[in-house]
Amino acid sequence: MKTIGLIGGMSWESTQTYYSLINRSVNRELGGFHSAKIVMVSVDFAEIEQCQSDGNWDGAAVILGDAANQLIMARADCIAICTNTMHIVFDQVCDGINVPCLHIGDALGAFASRNDHLCLGLLGTRFTMEKSFLSDRLHRHFGIDVIIPNEEQRQAVHRIIYEELCHGEINDSSRDVFLRVIKDLSRQGASGVILGCTEIGLLIDQDHTQLPVLDTTALHAQSLVDFALETE
């Protein structure tokens, strides 16, 4: 089994979901007392959030790059950034790294294309929804078009993520907000909705909507398991 390297803490609420999903999947595959080989560097999210607020993406890349190098020193066989938003600096973080870096968008795109989801709604932080790093990758590599909510909806989704979900706060009223946005994305032609922030899965799952839900946290975690258990 290969060792998975996780850059976590963004937020730790969703990082623990990664840890649980990866270990449960490895145990399903191997049985017995098996669990995943994982090394993790969990950053201080306050430092990352400040960089995001300031638009200091280079500063954030330095923090995550240092974390990646710590994982290399801990002999990780692959690296994953456990957040959608910080894939903005994926190339900077992984530049020069001599082990595979598994992009969250590739796990998402592979699953979506296999299931004929070629037009998807996107929920996430305003950075993920408004910047093109994820939607461009999905379109370029997988032929998938992305629809984003309107400005008022984007503000509401972003606020709920940062003011509630990142602190482990789950409110039914906020779930209702998300479900109204999902319904609107469906009316615009989305055949599924991307939970494009690793915290959203704490609030929304497939039981809450008829529209197919693509949870990037779960898909990314499974791609890491597949890598770790792949035979040479």
Q: What is the mean pLDDT of residues 145-159?
A: 97
Q: What is the pLDDT of residue 4?
A: 98
> Domains (ranges, CATH) in the chain?
4-103+219-229 (3.40.50.1860), 105-215 (3.40.50.1860)
Residue 177: count other Cβ atoms within 10 Å of its Cβ: 16
String of DSSP letters for 21-58: HHHHHHHHHH-TT----EEEEE--HHHHHHHHHHT-HH
Tens-digit pLDDT profile for residues 172-212 = 999 999 999 999 999 999 999 999 998 999 999 999 999 99
How far is 224 from 227, CA to CA, in rounded Å? 5
Query: Which of the four pLDDT bands, split at 50, 70 and 90, describes residue 232?
Result: low
Tell me the backbone φ, ψ of residue 8, rounded to 5 degrees: -115, -170
Query: Which of the four pLDDT bands, split at 50, 70 and 90, describes residue 215?
Result: very high
Instruction: Give percent of the chain above pLDDT 90.
Output: 97
How far is 51 from 29, CA to CA, in rounded Å? 39
Tens-digit pLDDT profile for residues 76-119 = 999 999 999 999 999 999 998 999 999 999 999 999 999 999 99
Tens-digit pLDDT profile for residues 25-43 = 999 999 999 999 999 999 9
Q: Which residues pair with 57 in a beta bridge?
A: none
Q: What is the mean pLDDT of residues 44-55?
A: 96
Residue 231 has pLDDT above 80, yes or no: no
Question: Mind telling me the catalytic residues?
Answer: 83, 197
pTM: 0.94
